[in-house]
Amino acid sequence: MKTQTLNKVAEISALFWLMKIIATTLGETLGDFIAQTLGLGYSVGILITLAFFLIVLSVQLYSKKYVPLYFWLVIIATTTLGTEISDFMDRSLGLGYTYGSLVLAVGLITTLSIWYSKYKNLEVYPIINKNKELFFWTAVLFSNSLGTAFGDYLSDEIGLSYLVGALVTALIIAFVILLHYFTKVNQILLFWIAFVFTRPFGATFGDFLTKPLIKGGLDLGTLQASAVSVVLIAIFIYISHLQHQNKLLKDRL
């Protein structure tokens, strides 16, 4: 009972992964809307999305319990900020998506290594300790930034179309699911692999929705695609809230 009351993060389920993919798609289209459609550039985009990230992260950290709205707002913030960070490293700093991906991968591995050395595990559910939660969100930010860079690497460096890139990452995710159900591969390792690769899936799918037809996209525009994703994620946050309330009610009985 105590763990369920104090836990601060979402339970890992099919709904979790569906919401993660929608959130990453929103992060891609919204990040591009801020930096490209509005013409603010990646530096200003980082400042705007960083401010949003810090605000919603503060609310999440100081909440005494898991609140679906707070949790998923931080996920959305990390995906949007991750889009700006990845594009800034590639286009403003000139690192390219290959080196950018390597830098972000090192950041993620370093974060997970420090996390493991301190707590002797990388369990992501439940999380109660605030310091451990900070490690979790740092790893989430690195993984979402890395996923963005990898998704762009598939399209810009390898030359895959946005749809093919989304299919490639979807196949990787499907393979991880098979490993989860039919092997004894470490489940926490599989979680982080899946967490990273749901990001490029969402990123490439977001590009598929927004990029011009001549580039293999549907040319829906960043604003329209973002609006659709906002509606979808809002619906699923509400469903997640109802499920959480029902679970708390059952725990009390």
Supply the pLDDT for residue 165.
78
Domain, as residue range, for 92: 2-252
Q: Judge whether 118 and 136 are in contact, CB under 8 Å.
A: no
pLDDT at 72 exceeding the cut of 90: yes
Supply the pLDDT for residue 95.
85
Place 73 in a pLDDT band, splitting at 50, 70 and 90.
very high
Instruction: Please give the average per-residue pLDDT across 97-104, as a whole number.
Output: 86
The pLDDT tens digits for 148-181 are: 787 777 777 787 777 787 788 888 888 988 998 8
Instruction: Please give the average per-residue pLDDT across 210-228, as a whole number.
Output: 83
Both tokens assigned to 151: 């998704």
Residue 130 CB neighbour total at 10 angstroms: 10
pLDDT at 29 exceeding the cut of 50: yes
Place 19 in a pLDDT band, splitting at 50, 70 and 90.
very high
Split into its structural domains, the chain has a count of: 1
Residue 134 CB neighbour total at 10 angstroms: 15
Claim: this prediction has a pTM higher than 0.85: yes
Instruction: Report the distance separating Cα 128 and Cα 252, nearest Å.
Output: 19
